[in-house]
Amino acid sequence: MADIIVELDHIWVWRGENLALKDVSLAIRRGKFIGLMGPNGSGKTTFLKTIVGLIKPDRGKVIVTGPTAKAIGYVPQEEHTDPDFPVTVHDVVEMGLYGSLGMFPRIGSSEKQRIEKALVRVGMQDHSSRRIGELSGGEKQRVFIARAIVAEPRLLLLDEPTTGVDAGARDDFYRVLFGLIKDLSLTVVLASHDLEVVPGKVDEIICINQTVFVHGPPEEIADTDVFRRAYGCELEFMVHGRYPHRVIREHDHEEHDAE
C-alpha cells in the first residue's frame, strides 16, 4: 500500500443527466507511466478532473496519499490563447505556484529559480519573455507542462497532450516527458485515444468507457477483446515488442458496405 499515490474507491459521476463514470475503483502506483485510453466521450477527462479535485464524485471517494498541496500536476486539453493577450511564458509557469503559495504569492528568488528550472526541463528557457499566444502548439504544450511541474508534484496528469500537433512536436513531447519521468521520478497518467502510439510507450493501460474495462500492462491486454468491447467496434490490437498496431479488419468494412 505504501507505493499507492491515488486510489479511486467506487467512483460514480453524473454530468447533468449523463452518467460519465460508473463504479470506478483502481489504484495508481508510484513510478508508473499509465496510458488512459477510450473513445471520445468515454469519461477520460472526467476521470482526470475527478482525481485532481476539479469534479466532485456523486458517489465514492478519491484518496490521495501523503501531502496533497503539491501532489498532483495537471495539464488540461489544448488551451486556446489570444496571440495578443499580454501573458508571457514566465507568467504562465508562475501560475503553477499559486496552488501551494496562494492566489497572490510573493515571488522571490527561490520561486524564480523554480520557474527557470521548470522551463529548462522542458527546453523552453529561451522563450521566457515571449507571449504565450505567439508559440506553436507543441511549444505551448511544453510550457503548460512546465506550469504543471513547477510545484514539484508526485503525479502528473495529461489530457490529450498531443492533439493538434505534428509528428515532430509529438516526438519532442515524448522525449521531454520521458526525461521528466526519469529526472523527477514522476508518476504519469496520459489520456489519449491514440491506440497506435501510446500502448508501446507506457507501463500500464487503463481502458475506460464510463467504467474501467481493464488496468494492466499492454502485453497482457494485447490478446484480449478489451478494446473491442470498450470502443464498440471490431478492432484488433497487437503489440510487436514495444511497437503497437491497430487494424480494423477488412471483412468488417465489407460487411458494413454490404448492409
pLDDT tens track for 145-162: 999 999 899 999 999 988
pLDDT tens track for 205-230: 998 999 998 898 988 776 667 667 77
What is the mean predicted confidence (pLDDT) over 83-98? 87
Question: Over pLDDT 70: what percentage of the chain?
Answer: 80
What is the mean predicted confidence (pLDDT) over 239-253? 41
pLDDT of 111 reads 86
pLDDT of 213 reads 87
The Cα–Cα gap between 241 and 116 comes to: 38
* Cβ within 8 Å of residue 209, ≥6 positions away: 38, 39, 42, 43, 230, 231, 232
- In this structure, the dihedral spanned by the alpha carbons of residues 195, 177, 61 and 38, taken in order and rounded to 10 degrees, is -10
How many other CB atoms sit within 10 Å of the CB of residue 66? 9
Q: Which residue type does 128 have? A: S
pLDDT of 2 reads 60
pLDDT tens track for 8-59: 999 999 999 999 999 999 999 999 999 998 888 899 999 999 999 999 999 9
Between residues 175 and 234, which one has the greater pLDDT? 175
Query: pTM of the prediction?
Result: 0.83
pLDDT of 115 reads 94
Lowest mean pLDDT among 141-150, 182-191, 233-242: 233-242
3-state secondary structure of 149: helix
83 pLDDT exceeds 80?
Answer: no
Which of 177, 190, 200 has the alpha carbon at shortest distance from 246? 200
Lowest mean pLDDT among 31-45, 74-88, 117-131: 74-88
- What the chain holds in terms of domains, given with CATH numbers, is 1-71+153-170+185-259 (3.40.50.300), 80-152 (no CATH)
pLDDT of 68 reads 59
102 pLDDT exceeds 70?
Answer: no
Question: Which cell is 141 given?
Answer: 504544450
Task: Give a three-class secondary structure readout of 164-225.
Answer: CCCHHHHHHHHHHHHHHHHHHCCEEEEEECCCCCHHHCCCEEEEEECEEEEEECHHHHCCCC
- In this structure, the dihedral spanned by the alpha carbons of residues 29, 40, 55 and 47, taken in order and rounded to 10 degrees, is -10
Sign of CA pseudo-dihedral 62, 63, 69, 70: negative
Cα end-to-end span (Å), the chain: 52
